[in-house]
């Protein structure tokens, strides 16, 4: 809603009927998803991208269901193309845990074709729409040198498409910028509502968790990605008794 102020509101949300979501996760099953993160688990156990992705997905699902228990989830894995892990959409956390346990990464794939993923999403989206629900695909991609490919009609936009891209630093053997550009192209080509894309080459779990939390936003209630100003930077506030006139809050590092 627009604020009652002389200053124009930069973002307005038009009244629409709220729809529950069917969300299809597609997780990269390439061996690059086994790259180590810059964090260790209990007793110094190494944590991979895939481990962290599974944790982030469960964080997302629990938070999404806390907001609205009517949202539902299903799971696919991306090799050369997408394949089902759990086809039935469910709002049961145990079902998600079971599906993620089946997600393995033990091969290196020469290419990544999103065409079948989009076909599956379009088919499922029509069923969701018949139930007054909306459909979203969340792709988590981990290959630093393989650009995604797809074949899809230009004006067929039946679902929202979000992407999180985890990659290595640029180098002789990889080209994450070109891969990222291919993902942006796919998002703009197929997404019905505003789709978000995030990337990280830092290997930090907290960055992935932060990005996943932003994706909690409902597609029907989103601003364009360039206008996102969350999460807010933390600030260090001095106790009132110790503050002095004109004293400014000092920024607190979020590292």
List the domains of the chain with CATH numbers. 20-251 (3.40.50.410)
Which residues lie below 8 Å from residue 215, measured CB to CB, with a gap of 6+? 60, 138, 162, 164, 196
Question: If DSSP codes are grouped into helix, strand and coil, which group holds residue 99?
Answer: helix
Average pLDDT, rounded, for the chain: 88
Q: What is the pLDDT of residues 172-210, one digit of tens each?
A: 999 999 999 999 999 999 999 999 999 999 999 999 999
Token code pair at residue 35: 């790259």
pTM of the model: 0.85
Predicted local confidence at residue 102, as pLDDT: 96
Predicted local confidence at residue 228, as pLDDT: 84
| CA pair distance 93, 66, nearest whole angstrom | 11
Residues found in the chain: 255
Q: What is the pLDDT of residues 50-89, one digit of tens each?
A: 999 999 999 999 999 999 999 999 999 999 999 999 999 9
Q: What is the pLDDT of residues 225-252, one digit of tens each?
A: 988 877 666 554 445 444 444 433 334 3
């Amino acid at each position: 809603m627009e604020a009652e102020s002389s200053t124009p509101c930069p973002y307005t949300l038009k009244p629409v009927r709220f729809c529950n979501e069917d969300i299809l996760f597609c997780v990269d099953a390439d061996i690059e998803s086994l790259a180590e993160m810059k964090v260790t688990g209990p007793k110094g156990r190494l944590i991979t991208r895939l481990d962290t992705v599974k944790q982030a997905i469960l964080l997302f699902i629990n938070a999404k269901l806390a907001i609205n228990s009517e949202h539902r989830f299903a799971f696919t894995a991306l090799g050369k193309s997408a394949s089902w892990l759990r086809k039935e959409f469910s709002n049961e956390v145990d079902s998600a845990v079971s599906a993620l346990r089946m997600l393995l990464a033990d091969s290196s794939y020469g290419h990544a074709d999103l065409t079948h993923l989009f076909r599956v999403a379009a088919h499922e989206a029509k069923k969701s729409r018949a139930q007054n629900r909306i459909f979203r695909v969340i792709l988590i991609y981990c290959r630093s040198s393989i650009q995604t490919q797809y074949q899809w009609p230009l004006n067929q936009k039946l679902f929202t498409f979000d992407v999180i891209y985890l990659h290595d630093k640029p180098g002789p053997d990889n080209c994450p910028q070109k891969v990222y550009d291919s993902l942006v192209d796919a998002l703009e080509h197929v997404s019905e509502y505003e789709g978000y894309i995030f990337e990280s080459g830092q290997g930090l779990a907290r960055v992935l968790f932060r990005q996943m939390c932003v994706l909690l936003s409902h597609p029907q209630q989103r601003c364009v990605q360039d206008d996102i100003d969350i999460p807010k930077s933390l600030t260090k506030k001095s106790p009132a008794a110790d503050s002095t006139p004109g004293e400014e809050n000092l920024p607190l590092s979020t590292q």
